[in-house]
Amino acid sequence: MNAVERFIKKMAIIQLLFLLFFQLVFHREHTFTKWKTLARYEGVIENNYTAIMDAISSK
């Protein structure tokens, strides 16, 4: 049981390190702003809830 706990702790620490690393990289490179404009270009951000409801109700 002790070995399993050590393994879980190591995995949690590794995951935390990766999270911090990628957060720093993305915020310094302004990648989020590029993704926002890409999402806006693709139409992902738009609120088209009524169009979806019209499509569902017309069936």
Domain with 43, as residue range(s), is: 2-57
Q: What pLDDT is attached to residue 7?
A: 97
| Percentage with pLDDT > 70 across the chain | 46
Q: 24: burial class by Cβ within 10 Å (0-12, 13-18, 19+)?
A: exposed
Q: What pLDDT is attached to residue 26?
A: 75
Q: What pLDDT is attached to residue 27?
A: 74
**Nearest alpha carbon to residue 15 among 5, 25, 7, 3:** 7
Number of domains in the chain: 1
Spatial distance between the Cα atoms of 32 and 23, rounded to a whole number of angstroms: 10
Comparing 26 with 35, the larger pLDDT belongs to 26
Mean pLDDT (whole number) for 2-25? 94
Placement of tokens 């569902």 in the chain: 56
